Structure 1
Amino acid sequence: MGSVNYRTLAEDILQEVGGEQNVTSATHCATRLRLKLRDESKADKAAIEKLPGVITVMQAGGQYQVVIGNNVPTVYAELGKISKLTDDRLAGADAPAGGNIFNRFIDLISSIFQPVLWPLAGAGLLKAFLSMATQFGWLAAESQTYVILAAAADALFYFLPMFLAITAAKRFRTNQFTSMAIAGALVYPSIIALAATGEPVAFAGLPVVLMNYTSSVIPIIVAVWLQSHLERFLAKVLPDAIRNFSVPLLTILVMVPLVLMTVGPVTTYAAQGISSGVNAIFGIAPWLAGAILGGFWQVFVLFGLHWGLVPVMVNDLTTQGYSLLTGPLLAAVLSQAAAALAVAIRSHSDARREVAATGSLSGFLAGITEPVIYGVNLPLKKPFYFGIAGGVVGGAIAAAGGSAANAFVFPSLLALPAYTAVGNFTLQLIGTAVAVAIAFTLTFFFGPRESADAVSPAATTGGAPVPAVPGATSGAAQASTATLTGVVDVLSPVAGRAVPLADVQDKVFSSGAMGQGVGIVPSDGRIYSPITGTVQVAMKTGHAYGIKSAEGVEALVHIGIDTVKLGGRGFTAEVTRGQQVRAGDLIAVVDPDVVAEAGYDLTTVLVVTNTKELTAVVPVASGTVAHGDPALTVQV
């Protein structure tokens, strides 16, 4: 199917189902283009089934299902380019969706930050080098050279909302230039100046509580999400003759004041509440306030809540020459950098290692943690949690000793001299070291161990590389999915009871249209990779995964029958598209109770979707199986 022209296929399918006007909605799962038609009699099933790239057509559950196989995301993407039927752009079909709101939130933030990670890492390193240059007297902070280089290093961070406006607009499928206009208004110099005065501000007689939106993250993401809904509404109700200019006009006119009057007050009042609470706790139990700041400073930064603490710090520095609020921040920042450093050492993923290594360096030297927070720790979750744990303990120790900075500096190793004059500097060093040790150790030993991006050069078959050999993950797990005889063992992805593919209650699978395979009725909810290879399909609903091995075997793991309708509820993806996995690596977790309560069959289907291109695919699993037991034998 590699020779199929997917743009042509999408056009032909749309034409044969009666045109765009006959389609009310279009979605897709791991293998099928799912269309809801106004009039199914207008669709020519026979003609569609003859199209190159189409396996078969099914009509079930009120949907017209065109079975395409692993390349359905490509067809769906092409359909979106020629129609208004699809509703996702920025890899939405392949982004993993967790089983809860927090996981979805992390996935959203990570996907929006992904395109700007490397510029963030580069700018962060430049800031680190500039900080070193001024600390060691190589460059005067008052020099024009420094001013120019500082602008180059700071611009991305200062105008971060504008960069995120572009990626968020792609994620939410809205006009990116309108999004940039909204973001530009938030960081416009006169708006920043109004926020800095602290004086009452009004818009059309309504009070506006302003905050500093520079370097902020959540406000612009929320704004673009709202913009996407407003734009779609306006596009529907406005006449064609004025739509092109009136949609952006009205969107900007509504969104800028709306964001300023809603996000600003909510964030400001929340920040002020946190600031007052932390200050009060400092007067009663400094160690507890230090634990709160040390643990949650990065969380406050994520939501822009740190701006409520910054003015207090500046005021303290101005009036008394130091601020106790700054003491725990070294532990907060460096613990996240330490967690990322552990990922850089521990991960087998070259791409992740590179981001983690450069990002941790800028974190340690300059206190710039955006690259590691959004590119490493937050997406992997556990390193972020371990960084918080280190910050809690280290921040408590530093605050217990009354440590404080006597200058407004970014918490980093190069900023340590600012902490020597106030409080117990020894406890500051101990607290920081403990925070770093906790975050690094926990991440190194208990953090996620990602798979390699490339095959091992040591093992070869006739000169061709063979995937690295994974460790056994169950008593029956195999050491490798490949042998030297051209035979590949495809392993059971889940423990349970094997059933013939013909007995699976889904005609597309049971008919063999998707390829030969086996069904497994799971005994638990942990799903593992059946082969070593690259994840080519990772559905955002978390219910299906396509993996291709170095030998060319394409295995599809489909968790449950029609579970795509759960929309991700009960499923947690552990891998993403493009990730390298080994046979036996955990790829997903499903809650069987959620699936059962919704009335769906949890039978997990394992098929080799390119069966026709291989010499033989023979099911070998029967009866009770453990995950890692041979399920299929493939002759390549």
Structure 2
Amino acid sequence: MSPSTPKTGTLAEQILHTVGGARNIESVTHCATRLRFQLHDGEQVDEDALQALDGVMGTVRQSGDRLQIVIGGAVANVYSTLTNLPSMSGGATPRPQSDADVKAAFRSRSRGRYAWIDSLFEYLSDSFRPLMGVLLGSSLIIAIASVLDALDLVDFRASDKSATWVFVDAMWRSVLYFLPIMVAYNAARKLKVDPWVGAAVMASVMTPNFTGMSGLGSKIPGVSCSTNATLGTQECVARVFGLPMQLNDYGGQVFVPLLMAAVLALVYKGLRRLFPESVHLVFVPFFSMLVMIPVTAFLIGPLGVWAGNGLGTGLSWLNGNAPIVFAVIIPLLYPFLVPLGLHWPLNALMLQNINAIGYDFIQGPMGAWNFACFGATAGVLLLSLRHREREMRQTATGALAAGLLGGISEPALYGIHLRFKRIYSRMLVGCLTGGVIVGVLGGVSTKAFAFTSMLTIPVFSPMAGYLIAVTASFFISMLLVYFSDFRTPVERARVNAERDVAEGPTSVEEPPADNGEDVAADADAPWAATPASAEGRALAAPVAGRVVGLDKIEDPVFASRALGEGVGIEPADGHVVAPVDGQLVSVANTGHAFGIRTADGIEVLIHIGIDTVRMGGEGFDVAVEAGQMISAGDLLAEVDLDAVRAAEHSTVTLMTVTNTANLSSVEPHFGQDVAVGTPVVTVRR
């Protein structure tokens, strides 16, 4: 390794350094075994240092500043780590994708029937996901305060709290109050707009100058205030440039920055097309702010607040005229109100109810939503323990603690539920169940403004009815998520396969123990002669055809044995089967490559054709999924060899043992025409 190459850090970080950094990468993709880079300048690659990295099996230079780095079975994990490095967030300049690339990416993400719904969920999720750490931090501070309040050690809601507890309030309110600025930053970044412009626009309506106009009210010329009879809140209007501007407190609002960022993206990108690139830095942010700050203050901000206030007034009417319907609608509405921030005005309505009539009727049904949310999170936690997903386990644990102890749903919602839309339908069943129970029992009320957590259950009346409702909501959502999974079957197989690759051979299921019974072998099935033994394990031909040595292969990676010893087969047809019993640890999205690991740790790669990854899956009909157990002879794929030839790719099918270096010997047998299932490689441990 050269002195300039870091000796610490992940393999992905070291690779990024040796290829010239993020700014030298135009695009990066991967196939079954290799990272494929399109670089701006291939001369910046430190190839000697790259070859010396532990985990890199070899490199292949190609024309046009293209570079292949051979990783082997762990390539998906390395690729994921590489593309999620902070320096890669804005450094790479992707080239336009081909139709095949777009289709492959579309399939790999398992998108739903309506693309706009997926895009909306992604927009919401990516706007909040980076905030998970501070959201969890603030919510746990609330949880601690709630515990002390429940134990009567401090009155967390007293109006005359000491300076100490006022300061504690500031510790957690710092995140929730300034959440709109943080969301605006992330939302703008998601839409490929300068995120600081988005943050600045949202911050303009949260400055002391703006909020002070409401605080001083009629003391400022041009400002007039009135009181909302339903919500009990003060509403002020200022005359700015001769036009009426509604003054609102935007602290904690989420819908406003999400809508603002969407409009900002249109304005910002239009300005980039209007002005020459040489003056973008000066004029694009300037005119974006000049346009968007007034639009937000005059139109977008009030629109978000009006929507919330209108919702609060409507719910108040509904509870008075149809209380059972109200008890059902509240927990079904909240999962959609919270992501958009439209639930905040309801807090004012809850406080107004307590002040005006001495109790509140919203928080009881709302508890059914909260506990359904927490139950779904518990289901995710159980699945993450079952499938050994460390990152999801950590996220779910923190979110569940914040929910059950602090009554805060945002960490679970933004960190998990919006990322996996399958959860919502399961969670809504729990919401509905709890709401029906609250309605049938005649409603639930409280005389306090309480975070709906485990610690505040005693403040609701009747407590028994409330406890039954939230318990049912929790466990129904938990069980539905656990038994149906929060990932699709394809996503689950892929994630588990990537986990198995990362964990190594020990994660493969052990074969059934020998029970002493004799099993009759089919004389016509060559698979019966392929068990591991003192003489070695035989790997059978995955396709019929002519067997050739790797030296004859026109791909330098396979010819150099960087991916292990093995054979190539010029196929007689496109019927490709498994050469050995084992687990499919990887299946390329394009269907051209399969990774199999046997129970005793032999790792086999089946690679159909040379550079067929460029076909984007056209002509490949895959019959299996990553993660499943297979037997020798099981169909892997049907391949249209004519389509491969028409795309000017070699049809040779390769089978190599990628962990050859860890074995005693791998002996290929070539120079013969074979049928499917004929032994062509002998492996000895």
The bucket for the TM-score relative to the shorter chain is 0.5 to 0.7
Could you say which residue in structure 1 is the equivalent of 2:6? none
Cα distance per residue 1:31-62 (max 9 Å; x no partner):
6869799xxxx999xxx9xx987647599xxx
Change (3 A) 1:444 1:243: closer
Please tell me the residue identity of whatever aligns with 2:372.
Answer: S
How far apart in 2 are the matches of 1:296 and 1:187? 28
* 3-state SS, counterpart of residue 336 of structure 2: helix
Please tell me the residue identity of whatever aligns with 1:97.
Answer: R
Cα distance per residue 1:302-342 (max 9 Å; x no partner):
11222343343333222212232222011111121122123
Shift of 1:466: 1.0
Superposed, 1:481-500 pairs within 5 Å as: none
What percentage of residue pairs aligned between the two structures are identical? 21
Cα distance per residue 1:475-523 (max 9 Å; x no partner):
xxxxxxx9899999999xxxxx979899xxxx99999799789999899
Cα distance per residue 1:388-428 (max 9 Å; x no partner):
221222123224413122222222233334323xxx44322
Shift of 1:546: 9.3
Alignment pair present for 1:436 and 2:471: no
How far apart in 2 are the matches of 1:257 and 1:162? 16
* 3-state SS, counterpart of residue 199 of structure 1: strand
Alignment pair present for 1:405 and 2:442: no
How far apart in 2 are the matches of 1:316 and 1:200? 25
Cα distance per residue 1:427-484 (max 9 Å; x no partner):
2222222212212222233334775997799xx9xxx861152999xxxxxxxxx989
TM-score for the superposition, normalised by structure 2: 0.61
Cα distance per residue 1:541-597 (max 9 Å; x no partner):
99999999997959699999767699xxxx9xx99xxxxx6768xxxxxxxxxxxxx
Alignment pair present for 1:138 and 2:179: no
Could you say which residue in structure 2 is the equivalent of 1:597? none
Is the contact made by 1:76 and 1:86 (CA closer than 8 Å) also made in structure 2? Answer: no
Could you say which residue in structure 2 is the equivalent of 1:154? 173
Aligned match for 2:319, one of 282, 294, 301: 282
Shift of 1:125: 1.7
Q: CA RMSD in A?
A: 6.1
Q: Which has the higher Rg, Structure 1 or Structure 2? A: 2
Change (3 A) 1:138 1:444: same
Aligned match for 1:182, one of 201, 206, 213: 201
Aligned match for 1:414, one of 438, 455, 458: 455
Cα distance per residue 1:109-161 (max 9 Å; x no partner):
43443333233223212211111112212234412222222221232222223
How far apart in 2 are the matches of 1:544 and 1:107? 29
Superposed, 1:25-174 pairs within 5 Å as: 28=29, 30=31, 55=60, 70=75, 85-86=93-94, 97-100=109-112, 101=115, 102-141=117-156, 142-168=161-187, 170-174=189-193
Could you say which residue in structure 1 is the equivalent of 2:428? 388
Is the contact made by 1:7 and 1:75 (CA closer than 8 Å) also made in structure 2? Answer: no
Shift of 1:617: 11
What 5-or-longer segments of structure 1 have no aligned partner?
15-19, 473-481, 492-496, 524-528, 576-580, 585-599
Is the contact made by 1:27 and 1:34 (CA closer than 8 Å) also made in structure 2? Answer: yes
Cα distance per residue 1:604-632 (max 9 Å; x no partner):
x998796998976999xx9999xxxx999
Aligned match for 2:292, one of 248, 255, 258: 255
Could you say which residue in structure 2 is the equivalent of 1:378? 418
Change (3 A) 1:74 1:439: closer
Change (3 A) 1:81 1:199: closer
How far apart in 2 are the matches of 1:156 and 1:490? 59
Query: What is the number of residues matched between the two proteins?
Result: 548
Change (3 A) 1:75 1:380: closer
Aligned match for 2:343, one of 289, 301, 306: 306
How far apart in 1 are the matches of 2:213 and 2:120? 31
Shift of 1:203: 5.3
Shift of 1:363: 0.8
How far apart in 1 are the matches of 2:453 and 2:177? 19
Change (3 A) 1:160 1:315: same
Q: Which has the higher contact order (CA 8 A, sep 6+)?
A: 1
Please tell me the residue identity of whatever aligns with 2:448.
Answer: A
Change (3 A) 1:210 1:548: farther
* 3-state SS, counterpart of residue 380 of structure 1: coil
Aligned match for 1:318, one of 351, 355, 358: 355
Change (3 A) 1:512 1:248: same
How far apart in 1 are the matches of 2:119 and 2:312? 29
TM-score for the superposition, normalised by structure 1: 0.65
Change (3 A) 1:73 1:130: closer
Is the contact made by 1:456 and 1:466 (CA closer than 8 Å) also made in structure 2? Answer: no
Change (3 A) 1:239 1:13: closer
Change (3 A) 1:379 1:314: same
Please tell me the residue identity of whatever aligns with 1:162.
Answer: I
How far apart in 1 are the matches of 2:448 and 2:132? 29
Is the contact made by 1:336 and 1:383 (CA closer than 8 Å) also made in structure 2? Answer: no
Is the contact made by 2:39 and 2:67 (CA closer than 8 Å) also made in structure 1? Answer: no
Change (3 A) 1:236 1:346: closer
Superposed, 1:145-544 pairs within 5 Å as: 145-168=164-187, 170-191=189-210, 197-201=234-238, 204-205=241-242, 208=245, 212-224=249-261, 226-227=263-264, 230-235=267-272, 237-238=274-275, 242-348=279-385, 349-400=389-440, 401-420=442-461, 424-448=462-486, 451=496, 466-469=506-509, 531-532=584-585
How far apart in 1 are the matches of 2:301 and 2:657? 51
How far apart in 2 are the matches of 1:471 and 1:112? 45
Deviating more after overlay: 325-334 vs 257-266: 257-266
How far apart in 1 are the matches of 2:680 and 2:186? 42
Shift of 1:183: 3.3
Change (3 A) 1:565 1:309: farther
Change (3 A) 1:94 1:412: farther
How far apart in 2 are the matches of 1:399 and 1:138? 34
Is the contact made by 1:33 and 1:72 (CA closer than 8 Å) also made in structure 2? Answer: no
Please tell me the residue identity of whatever aligns with 1:375.
Answer: G
Change (3 A) 1:214 1:83: closer
How far apart in 2 are the matches of 1:262 and 1:565? 48
How far apart in 2 are the matches of 1:75 and 1:357? 26
Change (3 A) 1:8 1:292: same
Change (3 A) 1:538 1:390: farther
How far apart in 2 are the matches of 1:404 and 1:631? 75
Could you say which residue in structure 1 is the equivalent of 2:99? none
Cα distance per residue 1:44-86 (max 9 Å; x no partner):
9xxx9xx987647599xxxx98766657789989997997733
Shift of 1:299: 1.7
How far apart in 2 are the matches of 1:488 and 1:157? 61
* 3-state SS, counterpart of residue 86 of structure 1: coil
How far apart in 2 are the matches of 1:249 and 1:398? 53
Change (3 A) 1:203 1:582: farther
Change (3 A) 1:11 1:137: closer
How far apart in 2 are the matches of 1:331 and 1:56? 59
Is the contact made by 1:219 and 1:263 (CA closer than 8 Å) also made in structure 2? Answer: yes
How far apart in 2 are the matches of 1:310 and 1:32? 51
Cα distance per residue 1:8-27 (max 9 Å; x no partner):
6469998xxxxx9xxxx967
Cα distance per residue 1:158-190 (max 9 Å; x no partner):
222333344445544443433332332343345
Please tell me the residue identity of whatever aligns with 1:159.
Answer: F
